[in-house]
Each structure stands twice: as structure tokens, then as C-alpha cells.
């Protein structure tokens, strides 16, 4: 399709009345056509008001219609074809294979949420039937369900132009919850956002939904982004990005007359802990461990929120062999094009600060890539005493860089883990002989991370029912939630109880006849949808 360079507001293509911006090819730093017009705050209000108007009808859709809408978005994204992969590659420098996988993840999670909507367990139906003859006081009929919060503002992420962007996880989970979405496109990949925005808009129209269910806007994050969060029509925020930007949005949301939740995924170092047993094999096994680590550090040029920024290796001969193998592995790597010139510049600043810190040495470095903004990946080394005492070594470097930290025992690991900030993940590489040594570390990590991994790497984030992609601050703004997996839908829901309402006034999910065939908890006991749920068990 021909890109318009304009926002999509409640089903209409709208030229912004503000300035313009363009995407850039990070491999060449050349501007990409078309230029994108930026909306003003007055135009933004058109989108948020439309979302508010759409809420009543969208939040009460029947499960089949609602699920079919989500599936149509997935179908429409796939129908764009190679045009989407080509444009995303031009705007991000990411290879086609990575983007094809990301497209599959995007459509897959939309279909997964469609299945969640059809099943309906996220509605959390609980019924405590009346007990009029209970002594000393009768019990009222009390029924509870989860209801959508209202319109949600979603911000596109720089590093995932599809899976955490226009129709990505935050948008998919908000729409699945029954919340209209006003999406703020990331200005680094505007064309990709527009292509997917049209796919969502078409699904809204084809299913006869209120056009305000979805809007896509372009504008500066420092002004339009802040105005979007401050808008009284917005009831929650989904964000993936830098810690500074996330905190700025959190402050705006907290300072509103009506504060709202911000679900921000921000920074993470994702520490890896290697135990002696993992290094007890032959040289080939140590080389394989080192190669896997370097692959996790350098994949997608290290621009993943789950890239391992820290690796704790034991002191002694085995740890020396691992460090040497890591140096050889990273020396064989070439730099990959980073997402933007600014991100590449921040990587350079971060690695310069790390390399200049006391007690830090360079373990190994690759070669720069053939394009612009493709710095040579680097891995540094230090001792646990220096890590514990120097905050510079705790700073995230977004890109292909990591720090190997040498330790002498479990006490060192417990102290180091207790000093780190909240993280998305922690990984343990061990064998059965290490179980007793590793056991004391697990409770510490439970307080620090959202996902604990054994003999694996954090960069693969499965989209499923049990996944947690979250963690204590500053990994996320709310450690009780996840931005990946079906549990993400609960960020945009809240409980409402209905006491002694007649059947005629109850929502469908709470009626005795159970017309939506939901699983429900009756008197504390789960009753499958097939069973009659109206009477007291």
C-alpha cells in the first residue's frame, strides 16, 4: 500500500497540524519517505474522546464477536505480506528472519488472546449465592466479575517494531480486555506502524465496531506522549522503553487529578550465574557455554530487554577457561546495525564508562560491522568485590556488551544478587552437584526477578499462559504484572461486585443461565461451564 505519512484517528486518515518527522535507515542514516506529520494536542483529544465514546459498546462485546475481531487483526497483518518485512527492515536494520519471527509472534499472541476471550476465565466470575436462613445474619447474593478499565494508551517500543508495537502485546492484551487503544507510534519506525495500523483499523470496520476502538497517532514523546497520559479519557498506560522515559510517564500519571496505572517495562541486566558443575566438562563443553552466552549477548545487536548484561563465573582454573573462551567467541563476532544512530551513540557512551571503571578489564571484543551504527561487540571482566562497590557496573548498556564477574562462593553470589536492582530474569547454569550450593540463592532471586531460568538463556520469551515478563522496579513499574503471556490481560481489568441484583439487571457473565458458558467459582468451588451454575452448590 502507499504510505500516507498521517495518523489514523478513529478510522480516518488525519494529517497532523504539527511538525513532521521521518524514519531513518540506521544502516546508512538516510531518511525514508514519506515524512510523517505530527498531531497537535487538540488533534490528540479527538482520538481520546473517540476511544471514550467507543468504550461502552466495545467493553460489552460477546466473546465470539470479540475473539473474531482479534483474529481478523492477525489475518490482516499477515495479508500485508513482504511489504511489512521490507519496511520494518529499512527502518530498524533488523534482518528479515528476525522480523518474520516477530511477525509470527505478533499474530500468534493476537490469536492466543482470542482463545482467552472465548474461554472467558479472565472475567473472573465468582458467585456467593444468598443464604437467607443463615444465623445470626442472612447472607446476601454477591457476584463478582472483572471489568475493563477504559481506554488505554500504548507506546511503541524501539526494539520490537511489531511484537511490542502497533498491534503488539500491550495493544493485544488491552483490546482483549475490552479496552479501546490509542497507540503512540515510535518515531523510529513510522512506516511499519502505519502498515499495521491500517490492518487494525480494517478489522474494526469489518466487524462493525465503533471506530474509536483504535487510533494511531504520531507525535513527540516529550509533549504528545505526556499529553496522552495526562488526558482524562485514558485509564491505563502500556509502555516499553527507557527507564527515564518510563519514569516520566509514571510521574505524569501519578500527578493527574485521577491517577492511573502505568505498566512500564524498562531496564534489566538479566544476570547469569554459572556454578562449578557447569564447568566440569571438557574444553568443548566450556567453549559451547561461552558461545551460547556470546550469542545471547550479541543477538539482535544486544538490543533485547532480556539480553544478559552480567555473568557470574567462579574464580579459579575453570572460570579462567570460561573467560578465555568468551574472549575468543566474542572476538569472532562482527557488529550488527543498531536500531538508531542515537542508540548506537548511547552504547558507545556506556561501554566507555564501563571500560574506564576501576577494576574492569576487556575480556574480548569483536569487529565493527560493515554499516553505520554497528559497533564492535565487547565483553568486560571484573571481580565481585568491585561489582558490589561500584554503581557504574550496575548500569544497563543497551546493546552488545556484557560484564563477567568472578566470585569465590555462594556468599559472594548472595551479596551481589542482593545489591542488584529489580530484573526481568536470572539464569543459573548448573548440574545436580550444584543444587545444594544454588539453593540459598533462589529465595534471594525471587525477590529480585520475574523469571528464574536453569540451563537456558533469557532471550527466548515464550508467549503462553505461564510466562512472566516483568519484575521488581526498575525492570518494570509494577512487579505484580507481566507484559507477555495471557496474564497480561489482567493489567487492564478491575473487579466489580454486584449485591442482590435481579437477574434482569445482571451482566450476562453473572446470570444464572450462564449464556456465555463461562467457568465460574460458586461458593469458592470452580464449576465448569457445562454445569448449571445458577443454583447454590
Catalytic residues: 265, 305
Cis peptide before 136 (omega within 30 of 0): yes
Helices (H) and strands (E) in the chain, counts: 15, 21
* Phi-psi region at 369: left, alpha or beta (left = phi > 0; alpha = psi -120 to 50): beta
Query: What is the rounded distance in angstroms from the CA atom of residue 466 to the CA atom of residue 444?
Result: 21
Q: Which residues lie closer than 8 Å to 77 by C-beta, 6 or more apart?
A: 84, 103, 106, 107, 110, 167, 196, 199
Q: Phi and psi for 304 in degrees, rounded to 5?
A: -125, 140
Q: Which of 241, 352, 382 shows the shortest CA–CA distance to 303?
A: 241
Interacting residues of 52 by C-beta distance below 8 A, sequence separation 6+: 150, 151, 180, 212, 233
3-state helix, strand, coil in the chain (%, to 5): 40, 20, 40
Grid cell for residue 156: 511503541
Cβ pair 213, 180 in contact under 8 A: yes
Helix (H, G, I), strand (E, B) or coil at 378: strand
Residue 480 neighbours by CB distance under 10 Å: 12
CA distance 520 to 91: 47
Q: What is the DSSP string of 419-457?
A: HS--EEEEEEE--GGGHHHHTTHHHHHHTTEEEEEESS-
Q: How far apart are CA 131 and CA 231, in angstroms?
A: 45
CA end-to-end distance (rounded Å), the chain: 57
Amino acid at each position: 500500500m502507499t504510505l500516507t505519512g498521517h495518523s489514523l484517528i478513529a478510522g480516518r486518515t488525519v494529517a497532523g497540524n504539527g511538525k513532521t518527522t521521518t524514519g531513518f535507515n540506521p544502516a546508512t542514516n538516510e531518511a525514508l519517505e514519506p515524512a510523517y506529520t505530527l498531531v497537535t494536542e487538540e488533534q490528540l483529544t479527538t482520538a481520546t474522546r473517540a476511544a471514550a465514546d467507543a468504550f461502552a459498546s466495545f467493553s460489552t462485546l460477546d466473546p465470539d464477536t470479540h475473539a473474531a475481531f482479534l483474529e481478523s487483526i492477525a489475518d490482516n497483518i499477515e495479508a500485508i505480506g513482504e511489504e511489512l518485512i521490507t519496511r520494518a527492515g529499512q527502518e530498524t536494520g533488523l534482518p528479515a528472519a528476525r522480523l518474520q519471527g516477530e511477525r509470527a509472534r505478533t499474530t500468534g499472541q493476537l490469536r492466543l488472546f482470542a482463545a482467552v476471550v472465548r474461554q472467558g476465565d479472565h472475567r473472573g466470575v465468582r458467585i456467593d449465592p444468598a443464604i437467607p436462613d443463615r444465623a445470626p445474619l442472612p447472607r446476601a447474593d454477591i457476584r463478582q466479575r472483572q471489568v475493563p478499565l477504559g481506554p488505554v494508551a500504548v507506546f511503541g517500543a524501539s526494539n520490537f517494531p511489531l511484537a511490542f508495537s502497533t498491534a503488539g502485546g500491550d495493544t493485544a492484551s488491552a483490546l482483549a480486555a475490552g479496552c479501546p487503544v490509542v497507540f503512540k507510534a515510535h518515531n523510529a519506525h513510522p512506516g511499519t506502524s502505519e502498515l499495521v495500523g491500517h490492518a487494525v483499523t480494517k478489522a474494526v470496520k469489518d466487524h462493525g465496531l465503533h471506530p474509536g476502538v483504535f487510533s494511531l497517532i504520531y507525535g513527540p514523546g516529550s509533549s504528545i506522549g505526556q499529553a496522552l497520559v495526562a488526558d482524562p479519557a485514558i485509564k491505563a498506560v502500556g509502555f516499553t522503553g527507557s527507564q527515564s522515559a518510563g519514569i516520566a510517564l509514571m510521574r505524569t500519571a501519578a500527578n493527574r487529578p485521577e491517577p492511573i496505572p502505568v505498566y512500564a517495562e524498562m531496564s534489566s541486566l538479566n544476570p547469569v550465574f554459572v556454578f562449578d558443575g557447569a564447568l566440569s566438562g571438557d574444553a568443548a563443553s566450556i567453549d559451547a557455554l561461552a558461545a551460547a552466552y556470546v550469542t545471547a549477548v550479541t543477538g539482535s545487536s544486544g538490543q533485547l530487554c532480556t539480553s544478559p548484561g552480567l555473568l557470574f563465573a567462579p574464580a579459579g582454573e575453570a572460570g579462567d577457561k570460561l573467560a578465555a573462551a568468551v574472549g575468543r567467541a566474542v572476538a569472532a563476532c562482527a557488529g550488527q546495525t543498531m536500531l538508531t544512530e542515537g542508540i548506537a551513540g548511547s552504547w558507545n557512551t556506556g561501554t566507555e564508562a564501563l571500560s574506564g571503571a576501576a577494576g574492569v578489564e576487556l575480556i574480548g571484543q569483536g569487529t565493527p560491522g560493515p554499516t553505520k551504527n554497528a559497533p564492535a561487540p565487547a565483553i568486560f571482566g571484573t571481580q565481585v568485590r568491585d561489582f558490589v562497590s561500584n554503581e557504574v557496573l550496575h548500569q544497563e548498556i543497551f546493546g552488545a556488551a556484557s560484564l563477567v564477574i568472578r566470585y569465590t562462593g555462594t556468599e559472594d553470589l548472595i551479596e551481589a544478587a542482593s545489591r542488584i536492582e529489580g530484573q526481568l530474569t536470572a539464569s543459573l547454569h548448573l548440574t545436580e552437584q550444584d543444587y545444594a550450593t544454588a539453593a540459598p540463592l533462589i529465595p534471594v532471586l525471587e525477590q529480585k526477578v520475574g523469571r528464574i531460568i536453569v540451563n537456558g538463556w533469557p532471550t527466548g520469551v515464550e508467549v503462553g499462559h505461564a510466562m512472566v515478563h516483568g519484575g521488581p522496579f526498575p525492570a518494570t513499574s509494577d512487579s505484580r504484572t507481566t507484559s507477555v503471556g495471557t496474564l497480561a490481560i489482567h493489567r487492564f481489568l478491575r473487579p466489580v461486585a454486584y449485591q442482590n441484583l435481579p437477574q434482569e439487571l445482571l451482566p450476562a457473565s453473572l446470570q444464572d443461565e450462564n449464556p456465555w458458558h463461562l467457568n465460574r467459582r460458586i461458593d469458592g468451588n470452580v464449576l465448569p461451564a457445562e454445569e448449571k451454575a445458577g443454583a447454590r452448590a
